[in-house]
C-alpha cells in the first residue's frame, strides 16, 4: 500500500553526523523562513567552529553546506515546490517518520 505525500515548499537545515541524519529543521520557503533557516544554519556552524568569520559565513550560506571534515555536515537546501504527489510505500513512510522522531 502506498501513501500519497504532497511536496512542501520549504527551506531545510539538515544536520548529519558520521553520514547519519541527525536533524532536519524546516521553514516556510518565503523571505521570513529563509532568514530563519540562515540564522539556524549560522548558529549551528558557529557552535561547531568558533573561528568562522562573517565573511566565511557568507560563503558557507552561498554554498549551502558546511563540512569541516570531522564527520559533521550541515546543509541548507530548498525542497521541490512542485505540487506533484509522491508515492511512498507505507512501510518506508513509517521508517522515515521514526528516524525523524
Most confident of 8-22, 50-64, 85-99: 50-64
List, for residues 15-47, the tens digit of each pLDDT value: 999 988 999 999 988 999 999 999 999 999 999
pLDDT tier at 95, thresholds 50, 70, 90: very low
* Domain boundaries defined on the chain: 9-80
**Residue 73, by phi and psi: left (phi above 0), alpha (psi -120 to 50) or beta?**
beta
What pLDDT, on a 0 to 100 scale, did the predictor assign at position 101?
39
Contact 22, 99 (CB under 8 A): no
C-alpha cell at 33: 523562513
Tell me the pLDDT of the chain averaged across its residues.
Answer: 80
CA–CA separation, 101 and 81 (whole Å): 24
The predicted structure's pLDDT at residue 59? 95
Contacts of 55 by beta carbon, 8 Å cutoff, 6+ apart: none
Cα–Cα dist 70/78, whole Å? 25
Q: Are the beta carbons of 52 and 45 closer than 8 angstroms?
A: yes
- 53 or 88, higher pLDDT: 53
Amino acid at each position: 500500500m502506498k501513501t500519497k505525500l504532497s511536496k512542501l515548499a520549504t527551506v531545510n537545515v539538515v544536520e548529519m553526523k558520521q553520514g547519519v541524519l541527525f536533524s532536519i529543521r524546516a521553514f516556510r520557503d518565503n523571505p521570513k523562513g529563509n532568514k530563519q533557516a540562515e540564522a539556524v544554519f549560522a548558529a549551528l556552524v558557529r557552535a561547531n567552529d568558533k573561528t568562522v568569520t562573517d565573511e566565511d559565513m557568507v560563503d558557507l550560506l552561498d554554498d549551502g553546506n558546511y563540512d569541516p571534515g570531522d564527520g559533521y555536515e550541515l546543509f541548507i537546501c530548498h525542497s521541490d515546490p512542485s505540487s506533484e504527489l509522491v508515492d511512498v510505500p507505507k512501510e518506508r513512510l513509517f521508517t522515515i517518520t521514526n528516524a525523524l522522531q
